[in-house]
Amino acid sequence: MSILVDNDTRLVVQGITGRDGAFHTRQMIEYGTKVVAGVTPGKGGQKMDDVPIFDSVREAVEGTKANTSVIFVPPAFATDAMYESVEAGIKTIICITEGIPALDMIGVYDAIQRNGVRMVGPNCPGVISPGKAKVGIMPGPIHALGPVGVVSRSGTLTYEVVDSLMQVGLGQSTCIGVGGDPIVGSSFLDLLPLFESDPETKGIVLIGEIGGTEEERAADYIASHMKKPVVSFIAGRTAPPGKRMGHAGAIIAGGKGTAEEKMAALKKAGVPVAEIPSEIGPLMKKALGG
Amino acid sequence: MKIHEYQARDIFREHGVRVPGGKAVGTPSEAHRAAEEIGAPVMVKSQVHVGGRGKAGGIQYVKELSDVEKTAGQVLGMEIKGLVVKKVLISKAVDIATEAYVGMLLDRDQKRLTLIVSPAGGVDIEEVARTEPEKIFRYTVDPTVGFRPYAARWLASKLYDDPRLIKEAAGIIRKMYDAFVASDASLAEINPLITTPSGEVWAIDSKINVDDSALFRQPKIAEMRDLDAELPAETKARENGLSYVPLDGTIGCLVNGAGLAMATMDVIKHYGAEPANFLDIGGSSSPEKVVAALDILTSDKKVRAILFNIFGGITRCDDVANGIRQAFEARPTDLPVVIRLHGTNEEEAKKIMEEAGYTTLTSMDEAVRKVVEVAKGGQS
């Protein structure tokens, strides 16, 4: 087991012929992901390497039984790409694109809720279930199959934390980067229950950062609903208020969204909070009784 | 992106929100001419990207036309919270009977737009929320329903009892919502929304923050950016596609990825020093980007040592190493440098750096401890 992506994932890549889309499609195939189709309007009938290209997601789904999509389309067209996937009946969408207007995401979020779609991103590294499937841009070889679920608002910081887990011999069931934007398809609160009910996941690492209140809400959920151990790191204790720290969603606004508040909420929920990322591995090992 | 009050006011006016006449000017004599056109009394309002302008003396009421030039001269050049006033808005002064607050924002928790009104306007709304929460009213817009007239009337009814004022205010709130959506705002405020003794409703102060991610489809707003409101280093970073935030410490850091860049700052602090900046070079390894980043770090006189923290993923370490080497060839520096490279093609990268005369480290903790040590007086 694992969550969101696995051996049953049949992936359609939206924007497969673009520079990033083509590069990462090859990387995903090399990792063992079943990439069954690509979509680039106007290039239907062609192929990228051995992957058939379709003009629309609907045709790709009809032609290949694709059940998951990953989006590499530029920001101006990515909103359309997300809606297209929803309407074509895709139930798991992973949107890598960075720089999508936030107002567009209000409508997209509403659409995925109404259609029972699980979406990760936008502005995220994607999802990997080591040894099974990689849907995104994270480096495959740093991961290994194991008992830890990782959910994070960051990209490279997640790799750093995965590295810390590997140092103590802990592999991962699934690693998810939820995305750095103010409005994303899935937040901690949506994904923690999936990890809690996944038999292969024994413990969860939650990597948060300044901005918003997702970590506080996750803390409430952990305290009241979760039996599996959770350990955490929150980035941005040294970040000044009112300044956007790279991610559109990483900003302390109106005195809210500080790292201190988030760390306090998690600690109160019984979650050990690492001072620095390299403590995550040892903390998780301890939490799992190692 | 923040825009100035006069720019936000223009956007509101275009959408039919009732705002006073006014003009933004940069010199005292222009201020006089603007006041002549508008007619005294006028308000002289500093145009800077900070709150609390009034308290700082940056907003002045001027009764006589003959005094406008002098007052504008005082406000122009004034420093408010570190920002120098380069422009003032000369605005028709309006008699005020009551002051209310109207705001709307991208509500991250609801993943929708939320409108907030309060009959306690003209003051800091966060203070009102703390001390008199019963005077704050919210309405969250269901995207499939939209912002309907009845919702605007409900909000307006929380501000006024007089049906005529409710109707007027509801109209303004709806037009403000239209302006918000049309300009891809992330936050908009009218504070205060006032009534005059004769029963008119006016939007006196206008504020709009615009979503950076939407600027590609808001060319008119993108041009409103005030380069005077940001540091030259910030401008340079933005033009080179770097995310940069200057801070007060001594360790300049250059990191790939925003989350890791933030974490790097935290680790620097953990080991007893302060970061000089946040700087995310993103997924690119282009030497041009690294050169621009180095220029920014070395132009900061507080910087005592530089840390590169690279976790190679799809961006390969050897590509980044080549970028760093070329950047140092183009921009030699006397500052001590610590380079941390880990991940994809780490060994090749280390070889490239060592051949260029730099030592590299694998562990982030070790690299940070090292850079903290050299910044405190040791040598690299």
Question: B378 pLDDT exceeds 80?
Answer: no
Mean pLDDT over residues A43-59, rounded?
97
- Dist CA B322 CA B282 (whole Å): 16
- pLDDT tens readout for residues A171-195: 999 999 999 999 999 999 999 999 9
Condensed to tens digits (0 to 9), the pLDDT of residues A56-110 reads: 999 999 999 999 999 999 999 999 999 999 999 999 999 999 999 999 999 999 9
- Which of B265, B278, B341 is the mutation pick for testing A, counting most A CBs within 10 A? B278
Within a domain: A130: no
> Domain for residue A40, yes or no?
yes
* A255 interaction partners in chain B (CB closer than 8 Å): 126
One domain, residues A32 and A171: no
Phi, psi dihedrals of residue A116, rounded to the nearest 5°: 65, 35
Does a structural domain hold residue A2?
no
Q: What is the DSSP pairing of strand A68-71 with strand A92-95?
A: parallel
Is the pLDDT score of B82 beyond 90? no
Domain of residue A54, CATH code: 3.40.50.720
pLDDT surpassing 70 at residue B64: yes
Give the pLDDT of residue B167.
Answer: 97
What are the extents of the domains in chain B? 21-92, 98-222, 230-375
Q: Name the closest residue on chain A to residue B248, using Cα atoms.
A: A240
Q: How many domains does chain A have?
A: 2
Q: Which class is domain B230-375?
A: alpha beta
Asked if A141 and A153 touch (Cβ cutoff 8 Å), the reply is no
When pLDDT is averaged across residues A265-270 and rounded to a whole number, the result is: 97
As a whole number, mean pLDDT of residues B349-358 equals 92
Q: Do B364 and A100 touch (CB under 8 A)?
A: no
Same domain, A112 and A159: no
Provide, as residue numbers in chain A, all residues whose Cβ is less than 8 Å from the Cβ of B113: 103, 106
Active-site annotation holds for A24: no
Note whether B145 contacts A: Cβ–Cβ < 8 A. Answer: no
Q: What is the mean pLDDT of residues B80-94?
A: 92
The average confidence (pLDDT) of chain B is: 93
Distance separating alpha carbons of residues B193 and B19, to the nearest angstrom:
10
Residue-wise pLDDT tens digits, B22-60: 999 999 999 999 999 999 999 999 999 888 888 889 999
CATH fold for the domain made of B21-92: Dna Ligase; domain 1 (3.30.1490)
Tell me, yes or no, if B344 comes closer than 8 A to chain A by beta carbon: yes
Closest residue in chain B to residue A235, using alpha carbons only: B263
Catalytic residue among B99, B189, B346, B373: B189
> Are both A95 and A193 inside the same structural domain?
no
Give B-chain residues touching A154 at CB under 8 angstroms. Answer: 257-260, 263
Burial of A49 (0-12, 13-18, 19+ CB in 10 A): exposed
Question: Residue B355 contacts by C-beta under 8 Å, 6 or more apart in sequence?
Answer: none
Question: Scanning every residue of chain A, which has its alpha carbon at the shortest distance from the alpha carbon of B146?
Answer: A107
Residues A32 and A166 in one domain: no
Chain A residues with beta carbon closer than 8 angstroms to that of B259? 152-158, 180, 207, 209, 235, 246-247, 250
**Whether residue A219 sits in one domain with residue A113:** no
Encode pLDDT of A133-163 as tens digits. Answer: 999 999 999 999 999 999 999 999 999 999 9
User: Band of the pLDDT at B282, cuts 50, 70, 90?
Assistant: confident
Query: How many Cβ atoms from other residues are within 10 Å of residue B72's Cβ?
Result: 27
Task: Please give the pLDDT value at position B122.
Answer: 86
pLDDT of A242 over the 90 cut: no
Cβ contact, residue pair A154, B259, below 8 Å: yes
Residue of A28, A103, A258 to mutate, testing the B interface (most B Cβ within 10 Å of its Cβ): A103
Task: Please determine, for residue B172, whether its predicted confidence score (pLDDT) is greater than 70.
Answer: yes
B217 and A101 within 8 Å at the Cβ level: the answer is: yes
* CATH code at position A149: 3.40.50.261
| Same domain as A71, residue A183 | no
Is residue A126 in a domain?
no
A35 contacts A51 by C-beta, under 8 angstroms: yes
In chain B, which among 151-210 make CB contacts under 8 A with chain A?
181, 184, 186
Give the C-alpha separation, B371 to B254, whole Å.
12
The partner residue sitting opposite A237, judged by closest CB among B266, B280, B342, is B266
The residue among A92, A120, A148 that closes a domain is A120
Inspect the interface and report whether the beta carbons of A276 and B247 lie closer than 8 Å: no
Choose from A156, A167, A216, A243 for mutation: most chain B CBs within 10 A: A156
Examine the domain organization and report whether A148 and A218 are in the same domain: yes
% of chain A beyond a pLDDT of 90: 93
Mutate to test the interface with A, among B136, B213, B317 (most CBs of A within 10 A): B213
Confirm whether A3 is domain-assigned.
no
User: Is the pLDDT reported for residue B379 higher than 80?
Assistant: no
Tell me how many residue pairs between chain A and chain B have CB atoms under 8 A apart: 174
Residue corresponding to tokens 């929460």: B133
Q: Tell whether A5 is covered by a domain.
A: no
**B214 shares contact with chain A (CB less than 8 Å):** yes
Q: Are residues A85 and A158 part of one domain?
A: no
Q: Which H or E run includes A214? A: helix A214-225
Fold of B98-222: D-amino Acid Aminotransferase; Chain A, domain 1 (3.30.470)
Q: What is the mean pLDDT of chain A?
A: 96
Q: Which residues of A touch B111 (CB under 8 A)?
A: 105-106, 109, 183
Give me the pLDDT at residue A13, please.
98
Percentage of residues in chain B having pLDDT higher than 90: 81
Is the pLDDT at B286 greater than 80? The verdict is: no
Determine which helix (DSSP H) or strand (DSSP E) holds B246, and give its type and residue range: strand B243-246
Chain B residues with CB under 8 Å of A139 CB are: 312-314, 343-344
- Among the candidates A85, A120, A155, a domain finishes at A120
| pLDDT on residue B285 | 64
Gap from B211 CA to chain A (nearest CA, Å): 7
Range of the domain at A115: 11-120
Where does A34-187 have alpha helices with state H? 57-64, 75-87, 102-114, 156-167
Q: Is residue A133 part of a domain?
A: no
Cβ(B93)–Cβ(B44) below 8 Å = no
The answer, for B259 touching chain A at a CB cutoff of 8 Å, is yes
pLDDT of B380 reads 46
The DSSP-derived string for A177-203 is E--SSSS-S--HHHHHHHHHH-TT--E
In a domain, A4, yes or no: no
Number of separate helices (H) and strands (E) present in chain B: 13, 18
Among the residue ranges A5-19, A117-131, B325-339, the one predicted with the least confidence is B325-339
With a CB cutoff of 8 Å and minimum separation 6, the contacts of B76 are B26, B27, B28, B31, B85, B86, B87, B88
Strand order in the sheet with B88-92: B22-25, B88-92, B42-46, B59-62
